[in-house]
Every structure is written in C-alpha cells, then in structure tokens.
Chain A
Amino acid sequence: MTATLSETATLTKIDIRNVTKDFEVRDTGGAFTALRGVSLDVREGEFLTLVGPSGCGKSTLLDLVAGLTGPTAGEITIDGTPITGPGLDRGIVFQQYALFPWRTALANVVFGLEAKGVPRREREGRAREYLGLVGLTGFEERYPHELSGGMRQRVAIARSLAFDPDVLLMDEPFAALDAQTRESLQEELLGIWGKTGKTVIFITHGIDEAVYLGQRVAVMTSRPGRIKEVVDVSFDSREGDLRADPRFGEYRHHIWTLLRDEVAAAVVQERKVAVPRG
C-alpha cells in the first residue's frame, strides 16, 4: 500500500514556494535569516520526513506551515489556498507533548474537539475512540503527570488525530523517548497513517527514523536553511525487518553523506556566532 501511494499520489497538498524567514534581532535591530528560499512540494497523503543540522530552521518551517508565524518572503499554500493562520486542517505534535496538565488524557483529546466545535455529546465518545487507537484505553482519567513519556506522546497524537486534520505536522515527536518506546510508536504511527491516509510532515534528528518512516526524506542545509535534496525512499516490501534491508543502509548512507557537510558547516557557523565581534 505504501508503495502504491507514493507512485500514484502526485497531487500537491502543501506547496512551499521560495520561502524566506527572518527574525528580528533584539539588541542590534538587524535581521537574522533562519530560512532562505525554501521550496518544497508535499504530496497529498505522503509521509515526508525532514532532516537537517540543528538550528537550520526545521521547526521554523513547521511553524510557518502551521500558520503560527508568517513568512518574510515567499508563499505557502495548502490545497492551493495561501496559509494565513493556524487551522484545524493541520494538527501539530510537539516534542515536549504540550498537553494541558490540568486536563486528564480524555479532556486533553476533547480540547481539540471543543476547538473544532464538535457537539458536546459526541466529544467524549470520539475522544475515547482515538485514545483507543493509540492504545490508551483505561488511561482516560489519568492526568499527564501520571503518564509515562511515551503515553503522553500518545495522548498528544490522539489529540491531533481526533479533530481529523488533513495534515499532521510532527516536530521530533519521539526524540525524548527511549529506543523501545520510540520504535513501537513509529510502528503505530505508520499503522495510523496507513489507515487514515493523512499527509504527514515529520521532523527528526535520526537518519534511521527518517528512512524508516518517510516515503521521501527532505534534507536541509545548515542555516539559513534551504532544501538540499529530497531523497525518494522506496522498498520492494515493507514486510519483515526493514532496517535489515540492504537498501535501508544505502539510503541511510546517502542521507548521512548529505548531512555530514551541512553539520560541519553548522558547527563552523556556531563558532562564528559565539566569538564576540569587535
């Protein structure tokens, strides 16, 4: 199913056109360019992973797609319409979960449904259903501080899925988890993606994770970030241990090579910033 999707679905869902993002620098009043001339098509229903050196602007790009900030130049469209602000057609999952600590797991999922204006009677049933989908039946009444990191991230995923966005934006959602939990959540996420057919943009630091999850892996340059290359990832079959597939190693090595130069550049850049001028 994965293979057919990537071959047939060529409809553009999100079109990022020549996007530049500057931040104002507080003390000098100058501009700090986080992204410069980013262009990327995200196809309808695809799972796109995004990798790049730290500080290259991945989160910034995700914020732009989410509509939380606007680009300095360029344009982002979703289904052909320019993005002007946040909306429930896009759901975000953050690395630090961002659950409301005063709400139970169930009430956290209900939050998105309230935002969407789902009738009160339907909210709870739907929230339970999505908590079930991420394997949290029985934990509905727990507060976030009573859940493990993996469970919290499941709640966050359930919350984003429950209001049924077309696009799921995920910013290193599994980075804070241990290896086993991460792998089982990766598995579940792929399952959910297969079932729901949502478009996913997934930021990660892990090359393995990027290759394992993504149908395409977009590699960014060091800051100011651009898209360096988009690598098509396709396997003959996703059955069995994908990580043992020789092609997995090839993709992995290719992306690693692309990243290596950028990471080196990023390190040099950081040193330059660290040395005080004048």
Chain B
Amino acid sequence: MADVQTGTRRAAGPRDTVWREPAGIGQTRRARPEVVRVASKAIRKSAAIVLLLALWEVLPRLEVFDPVFVPPLSENLAAWYDLLLSGQLLEHFQASLTRSLAGFGLAIVLAIPLGLLIGWYTPVADLLMPLLELFRNTSAVALLPVFILVLGLGETSKITFVLYACSWPILLNTVSGVKTVEPLLIKSARSMGLGPIRLFQKVILPAAVPTIFTGVRLAGAYSILVLLFAEMVGAKAGLGYLIQDSQSSFRITDMYAGIITISVLGLLFNLLLLTVERRFSTWRT
C-alpha cells in the first residue's frame, strides 16, 4: 500500500514540471525518462524474485545444491504441469480451498457479531474478556491435537481449527474498531437525538468497518497458513497433504509443485482481500 502511494506521488512530480514548462521540446525531453523510469521501477520491483527463480534453476544444475533435494525450477514446474493435467492438483486445491473458505467464512460470521457485542456492551466485555485473553495467548497450533482428539481427523476438526485461528484477528480488531470510534462523532450524533441502536448502526458500525476489515484480511492469511499445518498432520487430501505425502514418498518435484501452488494461492488471496479492504476504507486518509 505504502509503495503504491509513494509511486503515485513520485509520478506526479515530473508531470508538474512539464506543466510549468512551455510545450514542445520540454515534453519530449521529459517523456523518455518517464518510460525509462516506469520500466526501471518494474525491473527493480521484480529483480529479487527473478533472481531467486534464476538461482533456483542454475544452482542445482551447477550442483551447488544437491539436485535430488532441490531440483531445478523447470523440473518442478514440469511436475506441477503433470499434476495439473492428471487432475490431482485440482483435487487437492479444492479440498484445501473448501476448508479454508469454510473456516474463514464461519469466523467472519461468528467473530464480527461477537466482537461488536464485546466492544459495545461493557458487561459482555467484562464477562468474556478474561476468557478471551487466556485463549488468545494459547497458540492455535498447540490446540490442534485437542481438536483432532475431540473432533476426529475429518473435515470438522480442520474447519474448526481454521475457524478458531481466524477468529482472533477478526474478533480483536472488531472490538478495538468499536472501542476507538472518535468520541466527538458519538457526541455529535447523540446531540442529534440518535438513540443507542441508531447510533450503533449509523456511527459505530461504519466507523469500525476499516479496522474490522484489516482483521478480516489478517484472518485470510491465517486461514491458509494454519490449514496447511493441519493437513500435514493428518489428512487424505489437500495441498498440505500433497506436500507432506510427496516428501515422505520422495516425490520431491511434486512437493515443490505443492509449495509453489500454496504460495501463489496465498498471494492471490491476500491481493483480493486488500482490494476489497481498500474499497471499504476510501474515506480513511
């Protein structure tokens, strides 16, 4: 986000200069650096990734890395393509995505209302906050064995696990979003005769939306992260299972194919949520 902002600010600079200069030579003289600048920026931004990919291809071939454990990138991509054609990749991808989205969706549906309740009603906060503090500081990962013990190895335990992990950022951000609404806005709305319900609906809620959405975005990242872990511990399908299973049966290129898929998925998911978040908080400066 910050990068984008500095980007636009920088882009405005030279245009200002053009504006003040008489048209003609000045513009063409400035136009070329503009193209060069955009290109050089694109290069700068992707350089590290391109370098990593190149090294991944070259170093194993030069046997700097053992190509058995770190095969060259092209071989991993070939394995990825094979998995795609055989339909296996889609199957694992679907299994993971379904669990992630189910847990994530449930977390949104449960944690937002609960957070609103805790943020708004002090008695509810007094009652629940100590309990929440306790659980919040208990790592979700530490609780996975308990989930499996109680709910078995099936879908329920995995979705519940994701739900649990995703709930915290949403819940805590919702509570703080409600609690940190500018008091003057509440005062102003109260002065116009708004009762508690309409105050909540017209002031508290819209004011808290950007903060809530930041929590939702964090939860989105968690949903993939923790699910992967759960799938590695015990599953018959899913990208985590694919990675774990390929490793233990020594299909190393398949393992990397799984890893590549998961990081691209995570990236896309975060990008999607960022876009939605920006739409919700255009008014925030």
Contact = CB atoms under 8 A, between A and B. Distances in A.
Interface string B202-231: 110011010000000000000000000000
Contact of A66 (B189, B191, B206, B283): B191
Interface in A72-116: 85-88, 90-92, 94, 96, 98, 100-103, 111-112, 114-116
A98 B185 contact: yes
Interface in B148-171: none
A92 B191 contact: yes
Interface residues of B, number: 20
B188 A88 contact: no
Contacts of A91: 191-192
Contacts, number: 56
Interface of B: 184-185, 187-194, 198, 202-203, 206-207, 209, 282-285
Contacts of A202: none
Output the residue of A102, A111, A116 with the most chain B CB within 10 A.
Answer: A102
A111 to B, nearest CB: 7
Nearest to A90: B191
A96 B184 contact: yes
Given A94-B187, A94-B188, A143-B282, 4 more contacts: A98-B187, A100-B185, A101-B283, A163-B192
Interface of A: 66-68, 85-88, 90-92, 94, 96, 98, 100-103, 111-112, 114-116, 143-145, 163
A114 B203 CA distance: 13
B283 A98 contact: no
A66 B188 CA distance: 10
Nearest to B280: A102
B192 A111 contact: yes
A100 B203 contact: yes
B190 A86 contact: yes
A145 B283 contact: yes
A105 to B, nearest CB: 12
A103 B11 CA distance: 29
B284 A68 contact: no
Contacts of A86: 190-193
B273 to A, nearest CB: 20
